[in-house]
Homo-oligomer: A and B are copies of this chain.
Amino acid sequence: MIVGGGFGGLTAARALRSAPVDVTLVDRRNHYLFQPLLYQVATGVLSPADIAMPLRVLLRAQRNATVLLGDVAAIDLHSRVVSADAGRLRLPFDYLIVATGSRHSYFNHPEWESIAPGLKTLDDAREIRRRFLLALEQAERSTDPAERDALLTFVIVGGGPTGVELAGVLPTLARRGFRRDFRRLDLNRVRVLLVEGGPRLLAAFPDALSIRALRDLQDLGVECRTGAIVTQVTADAVHIGEERIATRTVLWAAGNTASPLVRVMGVATDRAGRALVLPDLSIPDHPHVFVVGDAAAVPDVPGLAAAANQMGEHAARMIVHALSGESRESFRYRDKGSMAVIGRGRAVADFGRVQFTGAFAFLTWLFVHLLYLAGFRNRLAVMLEWGYSYFTYGPSARLITEEDAKDPR
């Protein structure tokens, strides 16, 4: 039984392809999502379907795998049963891999969530796209200069890769992509602020790349505030220490907390709610239960797709070992490097000994992301959309539906 069809869960399912087991993968969504490109759906450059693939299609050819749509509510480790959909679906298991990922953490301010959405799922991305587009529409309608400036101010909280990538897209999109579209707005008044509590952006990257990212963002017109603590988020402002910044759009890319299911299982967790696992990724006293990806607390392993994939593969291998009576092994993370893209045409890339920046890093980023995207159709679609937005500067999925417009918050 695998709960969660993200990087860790899907990789685990595939790694069990020739094992003498029946694999059931349960997810509350029907698709695998290529999260590294989610910020492009949030800005309307890509369509949701471009970066998502039905789990059924991905596991179609794997005879021993069954996919079920279900919202898992409880996991009983002792009687070995997963319950989904308010108990209507009861799924017994012999081995379990929990790969439920993480959600945003609002640092003990859960009331900020409805004001400042995060970016983990397609629903999140649509919500951010809606708010971004709607703020510009409302600014075009507004006759009050102060309100208009607040509507044109976009604050992104969190200077990790997601925050940096969002911040890098918005200014060019608004000022160049929409340049000829509004009659009353001065799009040069669009302000994008990136607020980071720590001393530098991209804290997981080497110093030199953080500095380069900061400079690249500043070139694009992003106001970067480091060492800046958000003290209050309201419907019309963000407070950074004593300073009040009037804004109607706050996007959250700051903290992570493991999916609540980990707590529901009743296992020991760290402060971020991640399960404390043994070196082989199993849960203490439950050698048949593994936790992988962002839901697991493993020292020195970053919250990256590559890490989740490796953990999923490891857990699958440990199950095969257990079935054949082989001994367990400790998980060892192999660092494949990390990248963050900054606007159109620049990126920073850290591959341990080799680090690079600028256009070459951007092209590497493009290539790697196209390569890892699932499916020929999606690769082609994303390539075309990128080509389109490169030349037009505009996003192609720029939609506000009636539902979207109904509720301005």
Q: In the complex the two chains form, what is the Cα distance from A60 to B182 in whole Å?
A: 8
- Do A28 and B402 touch (CB < 8 A)? yes
Task: Kindly list chain B residues whose C-beta atoms are within 8 Å of the C-beta of A180.
Answer: 60-61
Contact with B along A232-267 (1 / 0, CB 8 A): 000000000000000000000000000000000000
Q: In the complex the two chains form, what is the Cα distance from A398 to B183 in whole Å?
A: 37
User: Any chain B CB within 8 A of the CB of A83?
Assistant: no
Of the candidates B141, B377, B394, which one forms a contact with A388 in the assembled complex, judged by CB atoms under 8 Å apart?
A: B377
Q: In the complex the two chains form, what is the Cα distance from A406 to B140 in whole Å?
A: 35
Of the candidates B47, B70, B181, which one forms a contact with A47 in the assembled complex, judged by CB atoms under 8 Å apart?
A: B47
Stretch at the interface among A51-59, A277-285, A359-367: A51-59
Contact with B along A9-32 (1 / 0, CB 8 A): 000000000000000000011110
User: Any chain B CB within 8 A of the CB of A69?
Assistant: yes
Q: How large is the interface on A (under 10, 10 to 19, 20 to 34, 35 or more residues)?
A: 35 or more
Task: Kindly list chain B residues whose C-beta atoms are within 8 Å of the C-beta of A384.
Answer: 380-381, 384
A29-B401 in contact given A49-B47, A140-B68 (Cβ < 8 Å) = yes
Q: In the complex the two chains form, what is the Cα distance from A61 to B180 in whole Å?
A: 8
User: Any chain B CB within 8 A of the CB of A94?
Assistant: no
- Do A30 and B402 touch (CB < 8 A)? no
Task: Kindly list chain B residues whose C-beta atoms are within 8 Å of the C-beta of A56.
Answer: 178, 181-182
Q: In the complex the two chains form, what is the Cα distance from A69 to B401 in whole Å?
A: 11
- Do A401 and B70 touch (CB < 8 A)? no
A54-B377 in contact given A68-B140, A183-B66, A405-B28 (Cβ < 8 Å) = no
Of the candidates B50, B52, B67, B137, which one forms a contact with A69 in the assembled complex, judged by CB atoms under 8 Å apart?
A: B137
User: Any chain B CB within 8 A of the CB of A211?
Assistant: no
Task: Kindly list chain B residues whose C-beta atoms are within 8 Å of the C-beta of A140.
Answer: 68-69
Question: Of all chain B residues, which has the CB nearest A59?
Answer: B181
Q: In the complex the two chains form, what is the Cα distance from A380 to B57 in whole Å?
A: 24
A141-B61 in contact given A49-B399, A384-B384 (Cβ < 8 Å) = no
- Do A399 and B89 touch (CB < 8 A)? no
Contact with B along A368-409 (1 / 0, CB 8 A): 000000000100110010001000001011111111011000
Task: Kindly list chain B residues whose C-beta atoms are within 8 Å of the C-beta of A381.
Answer: 381, 384, 396
Q: How many Å from the CB of A17 to the closest CB on chain B?
A: 15
A181-B123 in contact given A31-B400, A49-B396, A399-B30 (Cβ < 8 Å) = no
User: Any chain B CB within 8 A of the CB of A8?
Assistant: no
Q: How many Å from the CB of A217 to the closest CB on chain B?
A: 27
Of the candidates B60, B121, B133, B134, which one forms a contact with A402 in the assembled complex, judged by CB atoms under 8 Å apart?
A: B121
A399-B48 in contact given A56-B181, A60-B181 (Cβ < 8 Å) = yes
Q: In the complex the two chains form, what is the Cα distance from A96 to B33 in whole Å?
A: 46
**Candidate in A28, A180, A183 with the most chain B CB atoms within 10 angstroms:** A183
User: Any chain B CB within 8 A of the CB of A297?
Assistant: no
Task: Kindly list chain B residues whose C-beta atoms are within 8 Å of the C-beta of A406.
Answer: 71
A70-B400 in contact given A29-B405, A56-B181, A384-B380 (Cβ < 8 Å) = no
- Do B181 and A400 touch (CB < 8 A)? no
Task: Kindly list chain B residues whose C-beta atoms are within 8 Å of the C-beta of A134.
Answer: 69
Contact with B along A163-190 (1 / 0, CB 8 A): 0000000000000001011111000000
- Do B402 and A54 touch (CB < 8 A)? no
What are 12 A-B pairs with beta-carbon distances under 8 A? A28-B405, A29-B399, A30-B405, A47-B50, A47-B397, A54-B181, A56-B182, A66-B184, A69-B405, A71-B405, A85-B141, A121-B401
Which 9 A-B pairs give the minimum distances between C-beta atoms?
A: A49-B397, A56-B181, A69-B137, A30-B400, A47-B47, A66-B183, A123-B403, A47-B49, A123-B401
Q: A69-B140, A123-B401 are in contact. List 8 more A-B contacts (CB 8 A).
A: A28-B405, A47-B48, A48-B401, A49-B396, A57-B398, A71-B406, A85-B141, A380-B384
